[in-house]
Structure 1
């Protein structure tokens, strides 16, 4: 039995499949504006920290996520219910494992809880490392 989203009429195998119904954002700022109002400043700050760390990297939306890098994706982030997922890759998580002890990490992502302040210096270090490796 297929489930049909009542908003966009797309069909899914799973009931209440999580997905994005609207038009995909074209810029990171558009993506931020699509997030819940209380989280917009959080994502603006995250975007600014990454942009300042790697000002020469192309900024775009890929897979409906803010993405930095063109041919080689350096870093991406996404919004989840209780945290932002910062996708930096398995090698970066392994390299910074000591610094990331306080954070939950899954495979290639660091979970940054909305209830905690952004670890700006750590993000800068990780993003710069990702550019070099």
Structure 2
């Protein structure tokens, strides 16, 4: 997918597009990561929320069952 074709550019946009029954879980994961990695930069990489500090530390994503 080309950069211009990304359906979302921020983690907030990513979460907004999720089904309501999944959002709470993803927000909880996000909050836990932010507390654990306060200096990490939040971004979208590989179409997933990513936390970066000199290198990718963690990616996470929601998926259908």
TM interval, shorter chain, is 0.7 to 0.9
The structure with the largest alpha-carbon Rg is 1
Q: Distance in 2 between matches of 1:33 and 1:54?
A: 22
Runs of 4+ residues over 6 Å off in structure 1: none
The structure richer in helix per residue is 2
Aligned residues: 61
Of structures 1 and 2, the one with the larger relative CO (CA 8 A, separation 6+) is: 2
Q: Distance in 1 between matches of 2:63 and 2:25?
A: 13
* TM-score where L is the length of structure 1: 0.43
Query: Which structure 1 residue ranges, 5 or more long, are not aligned?
Result: 1-21, 83-133
TM-score, normalisation: structure 2: 0.82
Calculate the aligned-residue CA RMSD, in Å: 1.5
